[in-house]
Amino acid sequence: MFSPDKAHPGATLFRPSFVAASVLPLLDLVLVTWLFSARRTAAYGYLLNGLIVIFGTVLMGHFGITALMALAATGAPLTQWLFKSLIIDINIVWADFFAGKALHDSWLREG
């Protein structure tokens, strides 16, 4: 949410475009974990987890494409394209979704 101001060293700027990138992981960590802790609210946790994964994939895809466009202008090697594309981070988000699916399925089996 805050980034250093290049024009004024030592000062920070509020970047509203990064608010979702800060709030969504916090919601996933706190709220989704709490919702998955009870059988009665596990379906809501599964739903919210899925929404966060979709939003996260879209946002990271957008920022990744922006970073790749900047790399294309500099003629960076292929390894930098892979590591700056956010593909790895998107895979981590989807792994979180499948862990949530396994939790939801375990609650369904118990009932």
Residue 32 · residue 48 · CB < 8 Å? yes
SS3 category, 93: helix
Token pair of 54 as six digits: 């979709």
CB 39 within 8 A of CB 60: no
Q: How confident is the model at residue 111 (pLDDT cuts 50, 70, 90)?
A: low
pTM of the model: 0.80
- CA 21 – CA 66 distance, rounded (Å): 15
Element (H, E) at 4: strand 2-4
C-alpha dist (Å) from residue 3 to 11, 26, 66, 72: 9, 19, 17, 24
Domain residue spans of the chain: 19-110
- Which pLDDT tens digit goes with each residue over 30-72? 999 999 999 999 999 999 999 999 999 998 898 888 888 888 8
Q: Mark out the alpha helices in 1-111 (DSSP H runs).
A: 19-27, 33-36, 42-74, 78-83, 87-110
